[in-house]
Amino acid sequence: MTNTKSEFLQTLHARGYIHQVTDEKALDDAAGKTITGYIGFDATADSLHVGNLVSIMLLRRLQQAGHKPIVLMGGGTTKVGDPSGKDETRQVLTDEKIASNIASIKTIFGAYRFSLNKSS
């Protein structure tokens, strides 16, 4: 159990989101103010996968605690690619395909009213 005063951190601990923290007191103090958290997603497909779910759930918890979640989509890695040890590099996507993928992914976040930003 945690000795944090922040309901946000207490919820994260109770739900198993936190394994260890470098400076929990500083994080606890910061959680008393409105904080902004962001997570970026590559637009290499027109949908996300289950591996993105924990990140999305964390943003939702942040929002429920009165903080500001931001979702970033697009950016350099969508165009450049990251083969992550695969035998082939990602196919280079056109700007139009990236925009189409972003539009599709945005529908996932519509119900949450997260701030949505396209990074470059």
Helices and strands of the chain, counted as H and E runs? 5, 3
- Cβ-contact 93, 44 below 8 angstroms: yes
- Once rounded to an integer, what is the mean pLDDT over residues 55-76? 88
d(CA 87, CA 60): 35
Q: What is the pTM of this model?
A: 0.77
d(CA 113, CA 101): 19
Q: Residue 80: how many CA atoms within 13 Å on its side-chain side?
A: 6
Given a cut of 90, whether residue 77 has pLDDT beyond it is no
What tokens appear for 27 in the block? 């994080």
More confident residue, 112 or 82: 112
pLDDT band at 79 (very low <50, low <70, confident <90, very high): confident
